Amino acid sequence: MNDLLTVAISSRALFDLDESNRVYEEEGLEAYRRYQIANEDQPLAPGEGYSLVKKLLNINELLGKSRVDVILLSRNSADTGLRIFNSIQAHGLNISRAAFCGGLPPYRYVKAFRSDLFLSTQAEDVQQALAHGIAAATLLARPAIMTTGADVGELRIAFDGDAVLFSDESEQVFQQQGLDAFSAHERAKATQALEGGPFRAFLAALHSLQSEFAAEQCPIRTALVTARGAPAHERVIRTLRAWDVRLDESLFLGGMDKTEFLRAFGADIFFDDQPVHWERASAAVAAGHVPSGVTNR
């Protein structure tokens, strides 16, 4: 059994590579290679997934042992990837494992590294990882968003429910038959636990990591931020009980926009399956699109 929480992340999700990518798109691969070599001693600025990685790795320091492993997966070659490794060292990130794939999709190595989560700016890589049973999400390729409302050392992760933590069974009813049918369906099945979605195992791994700290000293805080409201709340609560997994906060918003709630929570990252919620949330916090479930078919 792997006792590490392992997160694989692409170089563009970890660092701000916008200028490098502009050179590649406008001038081609050889110009990109020369640019990266010429600047390989200039550390890259943090990208959207940086805060999550920084705080995850800090957990090892707090525990005094290795419980979190971060893997770099990149479409760069090792030659152009030297700047990325130099940037990792400059930012003091304890990342030693990497796959530089020379232009080919790196998702092929997600399972071999036993990853619990894969973050990338390439939607097709994320879809492939999900298809192989790995929790995965697409981040925007942009500079880091600095959130407010959370202690600098505390990691705060927020999840949508249906098609992320849970299966899309109930979402299918809502999409096909509307809100009244959805509410009736959830009332009728209130005591029947939902099947797990693509992020169930990742949540369980986080919960296991939380259990290694005293409750008042835990540096990880999780939240469910869902459009569900009463009476659809009961099934969610009973499902989490059945899984024996704790969420620190649960927000049942009854269809309200999630953005300000995520800002108030101080999320380092939020995972949602619906592009409209992902795009809105991205204005306030780092957000990952999980292309699973009926809304993405």
| 160 belongs to the catalytic site | yes
Give 230: exposed, middle or buried? Use CB within 10 Å, 0-12, 13-18, 19+: exposed
Query: Which tens digit of pLDDT belongs to each residue from 249-279?
Result: 999 999 899 999 999 999 999 999 999 999 9
Mean pLDDT estimate for the chain: 91
Q: Can you give the residue range of the structural domain that contains 61?
A: 5-138
Q: Is residue 221 part of a domain?
A: yes
Decide which of 69 and 227 is more confident: 69
**Which of 41-50, 126-135, 136-145, 192-201 shows the lowest mean pLDDT across its residues?**
136-145
What pLDDT, on the 0 to 100 scale, is given for residue 147? Answer: 58
Domain-terminating residue out of 138, 166, 193: 138
pLDDT confidence band for 145 (50 / 70 / 90): confident
What pLDDT, on the 0 to 100 scale, is given for residue 133? Answer: 93
Indicate if the pLDDT at residue 152 is higher than 80.
no
Question: Hey, what long-range contacts does 185-189 have (CB within 8 A, 24 or more apart)?
Answer: 186/228, 186/231, 186/232, 186/234, 186/235, 187/231, 187/232, 187/234, 189/235
**Nearest to residue 246, comparing CAs of 210, 277, 216?**
210
What pLDDT, on the 0 to 100 scale, is given for residue 1? Answer: 40
Indicate if the pLDDT at residue 148 is higher than 60.
no
Domain-terminating residue out of 138, 171, 201: 138
Name the active-site residue from 16, 69, 116, 160: 160
Contact criterion met (CB below 8 Å) for 4 and 39: no
Q: How many CB atoms lie within 10 A of CB 238?
A: 16
What pLDDT, on the 0 to 100 scale, is given for residue 176? Answer: 87
Q: Is residue 150 part of a domain?
A: no
Report the relative pairing of strands 269-272 and 155-159 from DSSP bridges.
parallel
Do 202 and 279 belong to one domain?
yes
Indicate if the pLDDT at residue 244 is higher than 80.
yes
Question: Hey, what long-range contacts does 248-251 have (CB within 8 A, 24 or more apart)?
Answer: 248/221, 248/222, 248/223, 249/221, 249/222, 249/223, 249/224, 250/223, 250/224, 250/226, 251/223, 251/224, 251/225, 251/226
Q: Which residue has the tokens 């919620």?
A: 277
Do 42 and 109 belong to one domain?
yes
Do 180 and 133 belong to one domain?
no
**Domain of residue 110, CATH code:** 3.40.50
Q: Is residue 178 part of a domain?
A: yes
Indicate if the pLDDT at residue 62 is higher than 70.
yes
Percentage of residues of the chain with pLDDT beyond 70: 97
Q: How many CB atoms lie within 10 A of CB 296?
A: 15
Domain-terminating residue out of 138, 164, 181: 138
For 226, list phi and psi in degrees, rounded to 5: -125, 150
Q: Is residue 51 part of a domain?
A: yes
Do 88 and 186 belong to one domain?
no
**Nearest to residue 276, comparing CAs of 289, 262, 261, 266?**
289
Q: Is residue 144 part of a domain?
A: no
pLDDT confidence band for 103 (50 / 70 / 90): confident
Indicate if the pLDDT at residue 150 is higher than 50.
no
Number of domains present in the structure of the chain: 2
